[in-house]
Amino acid sequence: MKWRWGLSEVGSRSRYTPVMLWFCTPDERPVRFIGIHCDQRSETYELLVLYPDGSEEAERFDDASAMVDAAKRLGRDLASRGWEPCPTAAPEARRES
């Protein structure tokens, strides 16, 4: 399973693009979805998980690579439980709050 993460090295600094990854249970009816949103918030990075019941869980990281590692671990865990990545994994446009 290969995902495109929004982290790329530019010179000595890194540039980050937010990403939203979706996992689903395509063989279940109704189909359920879990979203993993990775974003930079001020001086920290945030991993936000959106569960099928509407609940959310957030974790903050000091650097992007730690957040990406956590998201990859979560993705592997979901895959081992039968969740499949949806083909919607693409960078999203940054929204100003």
* 64 part of a folded domain: yes
Whole-prediction pTM: 0.69
Is residue 44 domain-resident?
Answer: yes
Spatial contact of 24 and 84, defined as CB atoms under 8 Å apart: yes
Give me the pLDDT at residue 88, please.
Answer: 59
Query: What pLDDT, in 10s, does the model give residues 78-91?
Result: 999 999 988 754 44
Domain hosting residue 49, numbered range: 20-84
Give the count of domains, the chain.
1
Residue 83: predicted pLDDT: 92
Residue 16: predicted pLDDT: 57
Does residue 15 fall inside a structural domain? Answer: no
Residue 12: inside a domain, yes or no? no
Q: Quote the CA–CA distance of 24 and 82 in Å, as a whole number.
A: 9
Is 89 within a domain?
A: no
Quick check: is 13 in a domain? Answer: no
pLDDT reported for residue 42: 78
Residue 60 lies in a domain: yes
Look-up: residue for tokens 């063989």? 27
Q: Tell me which residues of the chain have a pLDDT lower than 70.
A: 1-16, 88-97
pLDDT for 46 equals 92
Rounded to whole angstroms, the Cα distance separating 30 from 28 reads 6
